[in-house]
Amino acid sequence: MKAITLEQAANLLFENDNFLVLMHKSPDGDAVGSAYALCMVLRSMGKKANPLCGDEIPPMYDYFTRYVEPQDFEPQYIVSVDLASVGLLSGKAKDYADKVNLCIDHHGSNTGFAEYGYIDGKISSCAEIIKSLFDVMKIDIDKNVANAVFTGICTDTGCFKYSAVSPQTHRVAADLMEAGAESADICHLMFDSKSRAKLELERMVLETLEFSEQGQIAFICISQEAMEKSGAVQCDTDGIASIPRQIEGVKIGITMKEKEGGEFRFSVRTADDIDASEICKRFGGGGHKAAAGCSIHKEQTAAKEEMLKACKAALNGAE
């Protein structure tokens, strides 16, 4: 992959047409916000552009996704946003794994799968990079684009809480609000709004809370049974992974989620320089230093024990 500047990335977008913008599986606010914002802007320039994700786009993002109806064209230029590796593509998006022309990402761990890449691991969110790209392109964004970008930034920063938030992140948020971003409504929807089913799910999941290593590791489990009993849907599990790490004294928070087919999906959140992405890499996963994920295809107890063992090793600074 050839590393390029934002100006060069802008030129590639100006010069090409018939874009497909790829998102990772289980798309989050940053992936959806970045991809839809980019497609809206490309369309406003008279180009054709479709977002593509192998998984369903969560309906909670409908307030900006509804403005991007699918267009009919033969894809010519493939862009990926917020995609650290092609292993995170699913479904139809996989067909383009070795055809990505331009990769825009904020994961320092990006595997460099594209022809050209603009990667900055220090930026809060891919959406913040996308906004800088629009500035370089001298694009005046409208309310829907502003909402999409704002969604990406606020969801990937836990609403401006995380350490990747810079003064520039806040200034971008201010600019987005002036461009029409409905900040309070978006924040309410993303962070301060939960269904009764989600509340019930959280209550059930909290009953599984376990501590180890003198309270330094906290573990919770989201079982299929809890999902069914609570009536929760997939996106109701958002945010639950941050609960164990929030408990005082906890340095590693583990959330194990039972998927279909004997797969267990883990989210690992860490404090104090413990590298969550290193822990998850052992199991073929990845992510950021303080928040990463992976899957383990084993029986429940074995999967849990393997993860706990890896976390204890990381906690004690030993392999």
Residues 6+ apart with CB under 8 A from 14: 45, 137
Where in 133-172 is the site for a copy of itself (CB under 8 A)?
158-163, 165-171
- Under DSSP, the state recorded for 5 is -
Q: Name the token pair of 183.
A: 């900040």
**Which amino acid, one-letter code, is at 114?**
A
Nearest distance in Å: CB 173, a copy of itself: 4
212: left (phi over 0), alpha (psi -120 to 50) or beta: beta
Distance CA 25, CA 39 (A): 18
The one among 11, 18, 212, 242 contacting a copy of itself by CB under 8 A: 242
Nearest distance in Å: CB 241, a copy of itself: 12
The one among 74, 178, 260, 272 contacting a copy of itself by CB under 8 A: 178
Nearest distance in Å: CB 195, a copy of itself: 5
Phi, psi torsion values for 226, nearest 5 degrees = -65, -40
Nearest distance in Å: CB 244, a copy of itself: 10
Residue closer to a copy of itself, measured from CB, 94 or 194: 194
**Span near a copy of itself by CB under 8 A; candidates 6-14, 54-62, 75-83, 185-193:** 185-193
Q: Name the token pair of 181.
A: 């971003």
Where in 88-127 is the site for a copy of itself (CB under 8 A)?
none
Residue closer to a copy of itself, measured from CB, 73 or 191: 191
The helix or strand, by DSSP H or E, that contains position 190, with its residue range, turns out to be helix 183-191
Residue closer to a copy of itself, measured from CB, 171 or 259: 171
- Under DSSP, the state recorded for 248 is T
Residue closer to a copy of itself, measured from CB, 24 or 245: 245
Phi, psi torsion values for 18, nearest 5 degrees = 60, 65
234 binds a copy of itself (CB under 8 A): no
Find out whether 102 and 77 touch, Cβ atoms under 8 Å.
Answer: yes
Residue closer to a copy of itself, measured from CB, 194 or 298: 194
Q: Name the token pair of 107.
A: 């994961």
Measure the N-to-C terminal CA separation of the chain; round to a whole number of Å.
Answer: 32
Query: How many binding residues for a copy of itself (CB under 8 A)?
Result: 38
Nearest distance in Å: CB 199, a copy of itself: 6
Residue closer to a copy of itself, measured from CB, 76 or 193: 193
Assign 314 to helix, strand or coil. Answer: helix
Residue closer to a copy of itself, measured from CB, 107 or 245: 245
Distance CA 184, CA 94 (A): 36
73 binds a copy of itself (CB under 8 A): no
The one among 3, 206, 302, 313 contacting a copy of itself by CB under 8 A: 206
Nearest distance in Å: CB 262, a copy of itself: 30
Assign 177 to helix, strand or coil. Answer: helix
Output the DSSP codes for 116-155: EEEE-TTSS-HHHHHHHHHHHTTPPP-HHHHHHHHHHHHH
Tell me which residue has tokens 């052992």. Answer: 282
Where in 244-303 is the site for a copy of itself (CB under 8 A)?
245-248
Nearest distance in Å: CB 174, a copy of itself: 4
Residue closer to a copy of itself, measured from CB, 178 or 319: 178
Contact set with a copy of itself (CB under 8 A): 158-163, 165-171, 173-175, 177-178, 183-184, 187-188, 191-196, 199, 203, 206, 209, 215, 242, 245-248
